[in-house]
Amino acid sequence: MELAQYAEPKQTRSRFQNGLDQLRDCLIAMSRNAEHAVELAIEAYQLRDSERCEAVLQLERKINEDERHIDEIAIELLAMQQPMAIDLRFVAACMKINADLERVGDEAVSIARRSLNELKLPEAKLPVSIDEMAKAVAGMIRRALDAFVSKNAELANVVLEMDDIVDRMNMECCQAMVQVMKESTEVTEQALDALIVSKNLERVADHATNIAEDVIFWVRGIDVRHNATRPQVS
Using CB under 8 A, list all residues that contact a copy of itself: 15-16, 18-19, 22, 69, 71-83, 85, 88-89, 91-92, 95-96, 99, 178, 181-183, 185, 188-189, 192, 195-196, 199, 230-234
Report the nearest approach of a copy of itself to the CB of residue 166 (Å).
16
Report the nearest approach of a copy of itself to the CB of residue 198 (Å).
12
* Nearer Cβ to a copy of itself (52/63): 63
Report the nearest approach of a copy of itself to the CB of residue 182 (Å).
5
Separation CA 61–CA 183 (nearest Å): 40
Q: For residues 213 and 168, is the Cβ–Cβ distance under 8 A?
A: no
What size, in residues, is the chain?
234
Report the nearest approach of a copy of itself to the CB of residue 167 (Å).
12
* Nearer Cβ to a copy of itself (227/232): 232
* Nearer Cβ to a copy of itself (47/222): 222
* Nearer Cβ to a copy of itself (39/100): 100
Separation CA 148–CA 144 (nearest Å): 6
Report the nearest approach of a copy of itself to the CB of residue 152 (Å).
22
Separation CA 165–CA 217 (nearest Å): 23
Report the nearest approach of a copy of itself to the CB of residue 180 (Å).
10
* Nearer Cβ to a copy of itself (52/201): 201
Which among 177, 173, 187 is positioned nearest to 133, based on CA atoms? Answer: 173
* Nearer Cβ to a copy of itself (47/224): 224
